Amino acid sequence: MIIIQTSMPSYLVTGSSGQLGQCFQAVNKEFPEINLFFTSQNEVDILNSESITNFYSKNRFDGIINCAAYTNVDQADIEGESAFKINTEGLQNLIDFTEHKNLSIIHFSTDYVFDGQSSYPYHELSEPNPLGIYGMSKFRGENLLSKSSCKNVTIRTSWLFSPYGKNFVKTIATLAKAKKKLKVVDNQWGRPTNGIDLAKTILKLIFNNSIFTFPILHYANHGVCSWKEFAETIVKELNLKVEINGIPTSAYPTLVKRPKYSILDTQRIEKELKIEIPSWQISLKKCIQNLKNEEGF
């Protein structure tokens, strides 16, 4: 049974200046029944427990939406210590605080906790096997949260894009305006996710009080594509004439091995929590329209 909140819930949003944090800021006005505190690293640093305590003493909240994360997949294999520090130690600081104050945590993870060797979509109970430091650090964070006594949920998502921060859509849009030909990997498959859709979903689940029904949820926009198909659709939406040539992963060497097939199964959030998920094509169209309006793409 879904219970509507009787009092306005308040949440601290860490990492508000990052891509996902900015998505929450963008949809905040659509949810006047939820009070969100947006903080940058200067105000609340998850590696500094004292900064969390100081903010709470002045602004009481019921839980934390943790958007603070180390997300540079390749750089993580060079800066492993930083990746683990932010994605595990930082999260542990939040866990310690919420356990002490009897608060809750909404945390985000990634399809990179899987190795991509499956032929079927990964559901929440699929066995993780991360290939690189980034995925390992996020998986370790998941484990820390699963062992905590605070009310919590981990949201795994994939191929995040939005009008904010650095992401594949903005990168392709920039390159497509400067070049006539692009080479894009065509043998990695996933489900692109609009951060705006994700943020709206989280706030809907907070409002109807079902966000903590399960310990792990998968959220990604409907539809499966390769990076090449994703790039082709981006260019088409921008009305640019750019030739997109597909290349295998082997022709685009990166520091870390990426999962070849990282399709997230979202049936739990759709069927059990009654969330409707739009296709990535529809959400991409909206994203690019926002980019055109705000940044002149």
- Active site members: 134
Eight-state DSSP code of residue 153: E
Cβ-count burial 244-282 (b if 16+ within 10 Å, e if not) = bebeeeeeeeeebebbbbbbbbbebbeeebebebeebbe
How far is it, in rounded angstroms, from Cα 56 to Cα 40?
Answer: 14
Closest to 70 (Cα-Cα) out of 62, 61, 81, 60: 81
Classify burial at 43, counting beta carbons within 10 Å of its beta carbon; exposed 0-12, middle 13-18, buried 19 or more: middle
Largest Cα–Cα separation, the chain: 57
Helix (H) or strand (E) holding 193: strand 193-194
Eight-state DSSP code of residue 83: H
| Cβ atoms 164, 19 nearer than 8 A | yes
Closest to 132 (Cα-Cα) out of 191, 70, 66: 70
**How do beta strands 181-185 and 104-110 pair?**
unpaired
Eight-state DSSP code of residue 70: -
| Cβ atoms 195, 23 nearer than 8 A | yes
